[in-house]
Structure 1
């Protein structure tokens, strides 16, 4: 059963995704009308981030319903695959916008004055929308229990600041259309969005790469695992295997313990629970799996 707080988190993300999609369509239409590279850059950036929002919303819904085990490589892996792919798209788009902005500097475009005024109005609406969605996300995630919502709050705050700067650049471009000041505002605003996109691309890849490339645990963490096994050596009969890795910031520990065939299931389960609990206490946030194996009974000669 999903509680009211979980539903509020999902609705806040859904509100942001739907409003981003609708405003993106309007932005695209006005960008083509006004011949504004700055607005077109905002559309591209917005839709790439929207794709990531949708992935995160799907993850949030599954996690809150206990369905994260449906993903073969874990919910975190799916998020990081999305980060890597969309980060690449963001980087390529940012570089393209930067090249287009430099071209406009040497070849000033003709821009529709009425279209630019419409762009200013729509940008103001976008600023208000980001503020409202930020407030909704903050209210839904102020308990700090959802990492996804906390990340979305930071992302939406960055969007709010960025949309404010774009609004000022569009207003300057509209007021001084056809002049050098207007051209500087158009090019500078486009370059700003391109730089933000490139920074986001680097950030998304930095976040994704460690999780996509699993690493060995630190020696200190491996010592803690061995300590737990030694502490409870009397509750199991043999140690079959110990495998550990670090995926992103999450340690994964898989242990196989051997038990004599004449031991009861209750006794075995108690032993497994004690070892798993000890390791989880020593490695906070770790995913610990302890698998019991029955030892074969030797046949009489």
Structure 2
């Protein structure tokens, strides 16, 4: 997070010392990313403390809310970048100022840092199945792509400054960065909104549930329903089973424990609850 703050200050200094629409886009994008990382840090700290008695199911949906806010910030950044790029296309001009050289050095340094953070967060997202970590991985990929692309656009603008058409390289690069931000924002919205609406688990996870129930088919007399939803990195599964009244409580509990333990091993972040009932669950 400290590195993000320093990156924001460096890009702001480069913008103030130069005339370039792509540096304006870079400054806004970097500020957006710093705020996103800060929100993720705050959300993780709050979730780790638990929900207490007020939020007995935990605060894992805070991950989804934080991701949605990141997406909204990305759309705001996208709008500003596109407006700046259109203005530069309508009134073209060559980039200039000492800030260009400051920015190129910064792009190299932070390109390496962001690339490493992208790989790290992608690994964590796969291991924890967390939407927050997934949004962070996409965010750092966007940052790495932006560093490389901005560096190339600045180098091309300077080396080809003798040609009049090179004035369009700067705004064109801004539009490409805007497109990468749009793709990242759409991915964040698609993964977070559905979870906030309590969408059922993915088909692959539902198949695991059905396979486990089929494995214990002879142990219960009827299946009256299955409900599932996600909350951040957690997956809540409710299964309603009917058992023969002739079976003892100990026998029924043994079956329930086996189903629950197997599902929680197979589905990352699963919290399985199995209820006894003799009627279909509404």
Report the TM-score, using the length of structure 1 for normalisation.
Answer: 0.66
Q: Which aligned pairs between 1:6-155 and structure 2 lie closer than 5 A?
A: 17-58=1-42, 67=49, 74=58, 76-109=60-93, 111-131=95-115, 133=117, 137=120, 141=123, 145-147=127-129, 152=136, 155=139
Deviation at 1:29, TM superposition (A): 2.1
Residue aligning to 1:186: 170
Deviation at 1:231, TM superposition (A): 4.3
Residue aligning to 1:8: none
Cα RMSD, aligned residues only: 4.3
Report the TM-score, using the length of structure 2 for normalisation.
Answer: 0.70
Deviation at 1:228, TM superposition (A): 7.5
Tell me, what secondary structure is at the counterpart of 1:113? coil
Distance, in Å, in 2 between the alignment partners of 1:36 and 1:258 is 69
Larger radius of gyration: 1
Distance, in Å, in 1 between the alignment partners of 2:261 and 2:112 is 48
Structure 2 vs 1, CA of residues 78 and 254 (structure 1 numbering), >3 Å: closer, same or farther?
same
Correspondence 1:164 to 2:148: yes
Distance, in Å, in 2 between the alignment partners of 1:134 and 1:106 is 36
Q: Which moved more, 1:152-161 or 1:92-101?
A: 152-161
Tell me, what secondary structure is at the counterpart of 2:229? strand
Distance, in Å, in 2 between the alignment partners of 1:270 and 1:277 is 11
Which 5+ residue runs of structure 2 have no aligned equivalent?
A: 278-282
Deviation at 1:91, TM superposition (A): 1.9
Distance, in Å, in 2 between the alignment partners of 1:276 and 1:102 is 57
Residue aligning to 2:228: 245
CA contact (8 A) 2:142 2:184 kept: no
Distance, in Å, in 1 between the alignment partners of 2:186 and 2:125 is 29
Tell me, what secondary structure is at the counterpart of 1:35? coil
CA contact (8 A) 2:92 2:168 kept: no
Distance, in Å, in 1 between the alignment partners of 2:182 and 2:91 is 24
Q: Which aligned pairs between 1:257-296 and structure 2 lie closer than 5 A?
A: 270=254, 272-277=256-261, 280=264, 284-285=267-268, 286-290=270-274
